[in-house]
């Protein structure tokens, strides 16, 4: 019940295309859903996050869509650029006490020029 599933494992998109990564969770106690971006040799960096009382959040080219009833959320990268090539992790956490995240297995995105 603590698991967060993520798909696809890898994704290849042409420059200017839309990249879509999907995540699903089981634990309905989760109440915070961030996405992290990780470049080779670097630690993950927070990209965008959403709470379950919101169905969509957009920041620049990045949008999270959240479906509470389906227990699914997804990351959309519009106008994908080669610089977006990285590994993306969805995550989930609950409560207001401390940092305790469950991460998805990651999606390796390659954007072709």
Partner 1 sequence: KAGVTQTPRYLIKTRGQQVTLSCSPISGHRSVSWYQQTPGQGLQFLFEYFSETQRNKGNFPGRFSGRQFSNSRSEMNVSTLELGDSALYLCASSYGLAGPKETQYFGPGTRLLVL
Q: Which one, 25 or 89, has the nearer CB to partner 1?
A: 89
Q: Which one, 43 or 113, has the nearer CB to partner 1?
A: 43
Q: How far is the CB of 113 from partner 1 (least distance, A)?
A: 27
Cα gap 85→108, rounded to integer Å = 8
Residues at the interface with partner 1 (CB under 8 A): 32, 41-46, 49, 51, 89, 91, 93-106
Cβ(101)–Cβ(93) below 8 Å: yes
CA 39 from chain centre, in angstroms, equals 14
- CA angle in degrees (0–180, nearest 5) for 53-28-46: 60
Q: How far is the CB of 36 from partner 1 (least distance, A)?
A: 8
Q: Which one, 16 or 95, has the nearer CB to partner 1?
A: 95
Q: How far is the CB of 76 from partner 1 (least distance, A)?
A: 21
Cα gap 80→67, rounded to integer Å = 23
């Amino acid at each position: 019940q603590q698991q967060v599933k993520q798909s696809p494992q890898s994704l290849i998109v042409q420059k200017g295309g839309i990249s879509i990564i999907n995540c699903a969770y089981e634990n309905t106690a989760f109440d915070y859903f961030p996405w992290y971006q990780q470049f080779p040799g670097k630690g993950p960096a927070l990209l965008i996050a959403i709470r379950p009382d919101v169905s969509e959040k957009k920041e620049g080219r990045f949008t999270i869509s959240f479906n509470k009833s389906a227990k699914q959320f997804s990351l959309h990268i519009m106008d994908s650029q080669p610089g977006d090539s990285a590994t993306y992790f969805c995550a989930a956490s609950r409560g207001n006490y401390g940092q305790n995240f469950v991460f998805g297995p990651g999606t390796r995105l390659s954007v072709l020029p």
